[in-house]
Amino acid sequence: MFAIPGKPPVTMTSAAAAQIRTLMQSGNKAGLKIGVKKGGCAGMEYTMDYVETAEAHDEVVEQDGARILIAPMAQMFLFGTEIDYYESLLESGFRFNNPNVTEACGCGESIKFEGM
């Protein structure tokens, strides 16, 4: 993992940690696995899935009882990212505040990284 000793590769806001913790408990899951894949109009998309076990090379971040697993291919793209959870009258969801993103499409579902 691309890491600074003593600093987690990603962080969660208290709202994100609470939502992840609630969903982990209700589904008896090991954590929320995040990654990136090719797709969308800007070139890359985030992936998210609750999983029952961590794989051998997943980076594990735990905060306030919530657990995020980072897929190996995504680790360099997610370093320094803050994960937030928001709710409004019309929608709710996770938001990635990622300092590595250089472009995003108009709908916000697709992202681009430096050199991609």
pLDDT tens digits for range 45-100: 889 999 999 999 999 999 999 999 999 888 888 888 999 999 999 999 998 988 87
| Domains, the chain, with CATH or none | 10-113 (2.60.300.12)
What is the spatial distance between Cα 41 and Cα 33, in angstroms, rounded to a whole number?
23
Region 7-24: what's the mean pLDDT?
A: 93
What is the spatial distance between Cα 23 and Cα 56, in angstroms, rounded to a whole number?
23
- Transcribe 14-53 into DSSP letters: HHHHHHHHHHHHHHT-SEEEEEEEE-SSSSEEEEEEEESS
40 contact partners, CB below 8 Å, separation of at least 6: 105, 109, 110, 111
Q: How many residues does the chain have?
A: 116
